Amino acid sequence: MIDEKQPFILFSCCIPVKGHTKSLLCDVQRQEAMNIPNAMYEILEKHQGKSIEYIKSFYENNYDDIIDEYYRFLADNELVFFDNHPESFPKLSLDWETPYDITNIIIDFGGDEDIVLRTVAQMNIVRCKAFQIRCFNNISLQFIEQVLNGLEDNIIENIEIILRYQIENEHILLQDLVDKYKRIDRIIVYAAPDKYISHNSVECPIFYSKNTISEKNCGVIDESYFSVNIQTFTESQQYNTCLNRKISVDKDGYIKNCPSMSHHFGHIKDVQLADVIKQTAFTKFWNIKKDDIIKCKDCEFRHICTDCRAYLDEPDNIYSAPLKCGYDPYTGTWEDYSNNPLKQKAIQYYELSDIILPNN
């Protein structure tokens, strides 16, 4: 039974985020998020450490039944506890730090093996956590092994490989690759026959998709991509959740913040990655956080959502909302972004019509 005279404390891992229409309570320990009314957000933020009795009195006992309902929900879901010494339970620090110069690098393979090998050779100079290679042309497994061997002495922790389906029984060869190179987190095989889709399981790091993938497929904002964890939540307070500490080399060898972005900072044959990440023009995108972005700053999902600066509602405004987001925080509803009449001009600008399926 809830003691209304005892102060309530929100568990430090449970952090409320206010949106325009409704709010979100993010449990970064359990990696769950739940919608809450803005009125509940106000109580949690303004009256943390106060008793239910005090809160009811503060609102002149006009909302006692609603407040009781709120606290039953919070207590039943183990989101709050009660203690006479709330000062003993400080809030979770939202500072974000990393020992890495770069947290992730993307290399797009378009057929030129030298571009990939030059990039891998330079990666020993910058401290990088995660490596992804996206293969839009056929690539031999022998060359993939050559790339992986080049990373053998690197501090890379996670490796992801995206490649087109090429040969029958490829699964066996890819499994051998996973068994040999323990840092491979995931291999995505796209444009695969339907019969391979059934091979997918959470236990296996090899994932098959019948869809075709290109550089234009990135930047989709969807609930299934939300990341409810302390890493994303804290990073989003100060930095961009897509481009912060990211560097990419596109299929033509040009160094970019993201392969889908048009601006580049030189060619990998002429420029060092270590020099590019020191340029203010390159790192400026790192600091565009969700609280700075049109629409996103009013969205309750902003601290669990991965951003996109490559495709924007307003291509000439770097603070514009992501084009491929179909959520409207002002109505609290989702729609298919490609059907929004206000986005058609930008879709044409980025030449995205070819990746939008009919009746999508």
Is 166 found in the same domain as 24?
A: no
User: What's the average model confidence in pLDDT over 232-259?
Assistant: 98
Tokens of 126: 């910058």
Burial class of residue 48 (count of CB atoms within 10 Å of its CB; 0-12, 13-18, 19+): middle
pLDDT of 360 strictly over 50 = no
Is 190 found in the same domain as 281?
A: yes
Is 360 inside a domain boundary? no
Confidence of residue 359 (pLDDT cuts 50, 70, 90): very low
Q: Tens of pLDDT along 202-230?
A: 778 999 999 888 889 899 999 999 999 99
Least confident among 118-132, 141-155, 188-202? 188-202
Question: What's the CA gap between 143 and 136, in Å, rounded?
Answer: 14
Buried b (16+ CB within 10 A) or exposed e, 119-131: bbebbeebbbbbb
Domain range enclosing 54: 8-88
pLDDT of 198 strictly over 80 = no
Is 218 found in the same domain as 140?
A: yes
Least confident among 155-169, 227-241, 274-288? 155-169
**pLDDT the model gives residue 108:** 97
Is 65 found in the same domain as 120?
A: no
- Kind and range of the H or E run holding 19: none
Is 331 inside a domain boundary? no
Is 152 inside a domain boundary? yes
**pLDDT the model gives residue 293:** 99
Question: What's the CA gap between 288 and 282, in Å, rounded?
Answer: 12
Is 243 found in the same domain as 161?
A: yes
241 and 229 Cβ atoms separated by less than 8 Å: no
Confidence of residue 358 (pLDDT cuts 50, 70, 90): very low
pLDDT of 169 strictly over 80 = no
Is 244 found in the same domain as 209?
A: yes
Question: What's the CA gap between 16 and 19, in Å, rounded?
Answer: 10
> Bridge-partner residues for 131, per DSSP?
105, 159
| Model pTM score | 0.93
Per-chain mean pLDDT for the chain: 94
Is 31 inside a domain boundary? yes
Amino acid of residue 220: V
Domain closes at, from 58, 88, 118: 88
Q: Tens of pLDDT along 115-136?
A: 999 999 999 899 999 999 999 9
User: What's the average model confidence in pLDDT over 343-360?
Assistant: 81
Question: What's the CA gap between 18 and 45, in Å, rounded?
Answer: 10
Q: Report in angstroms the alpha-carbon separations of 320 from 177, 295, 308, 309, 313.
A: 41, 8, 10, 8, 6
